[in-house]
Amino acid sequence: MAKQQEYSGSDIEVYRDAKHVRKRPAMYIGDVGERGLHHCIWEVVDNSIDEHVAGFCDKITIELGSDGSVTVSDNGRGIPVDMHAEEGKSALELVLTVIGAGGKFNKKSYAISGGLHGVGVSAVCALSSTMVATVKRDSKVYQQEFAGGYASSAMKEIGTTNRTGTSITFVPDNTIFDATTFDTQRVLGRARELAYLNSGLVIHIVDRRDNTKFAYKYDNGIVQFVEHLNEGKHPLHDVVYFEGEQDGIRVEVAFQFNSGFDEKTLSFVNNIPTIEGGTHLVGFRNSLSRVLLAAAKETRLPKGVTLTGEDTREGVVSVISAKVPEPQFEGQTKTKLGNKEVQTVVHAITSEGVKSFFEEHPKELKLVIGKVKKAAEAREASRRARESVRESAKGGMSELLSKLVHCRSKDVESNEVLLIEGDSAGGSAKGGRDSRFQAVLPMKGKVLNVEKATVSKMLAHDELKILVSALGTGLGEAFDLSKLKYGKVIIMCDADVDGLHIQTLLLTFFFRQMTELLLSGHVYIAQPPLYRVTYRNKTHYLKDDTSLQTFMKENEVNRDQLGVQRFKGLGEMNPDQLWDTTMSPANRTVRQVIVGDAVEACRVFDVLMGKAVEPRRQFIVENAAKLDPRFLDV
């Protein structure tokens, strides 16, 4: 056995402030991919939001620069610039360079805040190649520059002003992040969310890359948020809103039941989205369920069916916003709240608010209780359907064994399953695939639109049953990503209207029943060619009409001089063609499905795939100019 190397005090390294952030960035912003990159914006914006909550700011501007920079400006009080007696540096430099420096510990400057650890903006500074801070306060304008988390210039006075506020401009360090291009839609989604949560606040977004501008302001706050989330559904009553405060904890709740089957609840603490929920969400759900279960005691149910808390939340859209002086989050990225006292406060305020509304609106209560009863009956039917699926899956599903062609490798990360439109294309794919890592699952016809279907109907749908068994993850609340059998789930459909429809139906299913599969980046869409072009004894595969026009222009030829075959579907390709154009990792083009704005994605699925016709018609009218007429099914 080899002798271990010596281990002494000289081997101990000390990483402080920027050096530690740059060494372990994921500890501070979650990761160095797209999520972490955009998280940097919100760490800066959170400080401006805290100024609004404290009553000193009513306008925030986020500017995406053409040079890859981001500028966040507000009209708050401005970061202090006076010298810190103990540290011998300006307060501005301390806030932006020292981990653990901030004005939110003693609660004198901010009773409520999202930034609690003195970490956020200093971590962004450390992960930026350059940062420039401009502060307006005390009738003067101050500025200081930073690089990699350290001051690169002294703070200087550069002018006078009659305004106040802070402006932070930063350029993400491309040696830290995987990519440094900001996604406008992702920024818009979070900005809109913050505007909903802070009634009266104006948030401007300016994208200098294409000179587009946006602005969000909602005077009715989370009431309008719930209305936005419920667009495309059939609400059973007006949005219920109530607020309250106990022990310094302020709570706002808005909810509305619709005729659908999904619960959609968004929770926030100090304006920060708690995507994993926490005690405030538990308090709301338990209280809502308790009030409705008590009101439904006299409801007669079929034999063997009982009401549960799950039944009382079917079809409810809710937003819970809590302002907590000392929130205990799990980690710097703050995705789950742990304060037990918040659960008690939210439970009490929700109980009073829900009781008060339904006592004053007995007709609406009757509608909701009727829905709860139907949910219980549907849940029992779903349970029986799930048992049927499990029984079918034991020892291998006979239909699955005949349709799914397995791959040989046991390496889940490198394996992929191709969901192919039609048995004919499935046959070509089976013959052309690389059997080491590619599995093939032909999809017969159009799958069920789960947006309009009950869970029991969905589970009875043969194609979806086979798909769920093939992926191995389960679905809904039972979904378990760790059981996924393939690193890539690739949707392969024809390049026509029907193919796009099948893509959309599958994406609807994944978004509603396997959300984490999409969020974790496992779903891809293949891009098969529309044309096979022969020119000068060479074959070229071109994706679409635009590619064909470009090819003709580059070669200075017209269509009559080419041998052009337009594929009507994947089934027209032989195995070699399908491999060369659509399946070979070396040649193919696949698009990864990324959920940039989950809230907006949810709304769009509601509008386009839901039961309500008028919102869908309105969406088409508003977006008609963006539609490609080739893909209109008229």
- pLDDT digits 0-9 by tens, 570-620: 888 889 989 988 999 988 889 999 887 777 888 888 888 988 888 888 888
- Report which listed range, 95-99, 171-175, 228-232, 467-471, is most confident: 171-175
Catalytic machinery residues:
421, 494, 496, 498
Q: 570: which 2 tokens? A: 């994947």
Cα separation, 557 vs 115, whole angstroms: 61
Q: 411: which 2 tokens? A: 């390496």
With cut-offs at 50, 70 and 90, classify the pLDDT of residue 28.
confident
Burial of 85 (0-12, 13-18, 19+ CB in 10 A): exposed
| Runs of H (alpha helix) within 525-596 | 545-555, 575-578
The most distant pair of C-alpha atoms in the chain lies apart, rounded to whole Å, by 81
Identify whether the C-beta of residue 254 lies closer than 8 Å to the C-beta of residue 305: no
Cα separation, 315 vs 335, whole angstroms: 24
What is the percent of the chain where pLDDT is above 90? Answer: 56
| DSSP-derived secondary structure for 60-98 | EEEEE-TTS-EEEEE-SS----SBPTTTSSBHHHHHHHS
In the chain the first and final C-alpha atoms are separated, in Å, by: 75
Architecture of domain 221-380: 2-Layer Sandwich (3.30)
Cα separation, 77 vs 56, whole angstroms: 6
Cα separation, 495 vs 481, whole angstroms: 30
Identify whether the C-beta of residue 492 lies closer than 8 Å to the C-beta of residue 528: yes
Architecture of domain 531-591: 2-Layer Sandwich (3.30)
Architecture of domain 395-528+592-631: 3-Layer(aba) Sandwich (3.40)
The predicted structure's pLDDT at residue 116: 43
Domain boundaries, the chain: 17-216, 221-380, 395-528+592-631, 531-591
Angle (nearest 5°) at CA 84 between 83 and 86: 140
Cα separation, 177 vs 175, whole angstroms: 6
Q: Which helix (H) or strand (E) holds 400?
A: helix 398-403
Cα separation, 63 vs 312, whole angstroms: 43
Q: 447: which 2 tokens? A: 């799958």
Q: Which residue has the tokens 């704005």?
A: 597
What values do phi and psi take at 209, rounded to 5? -70, -30
Cα separation, 108 vs 57, whole angstroms: 17
Architecture of domain 17-216: 2-Layer Sandwich (3.30)
Identify whether the C-beta of residue 104 lies closer than 8 Å to the C-beta of residue 110: yes
Q: 239: which 2 tokens? A: 């949005």
Beta bridge partners of 439: 417
Over 90: is that where the pLDDT of 363 sits?
yes
Identify whether the C-beta of residue 322 lies closer than 8 Å to the C-beta of residue 249: yes
Cα separation, 256 vs 317, whole angstroms: 5
* 3-state SS, residue 600: helix
Cα separation, 230 vs 602, whole angstroms: 9
The predicted structure's pLDDT at residue 217: 97
Identify whether the C-beta of residue 447 lies closer than 8 Å to the C-beta of residue 461: yes
This prediction's pTM: 0.76
Over 90: is that where the pLDDT of 533 sits?
yes
The pLDDT tens digits of the residues spanning 231-273 come to 878 899 999 999 999 999 999 999 999 988 888 999 999 998 8
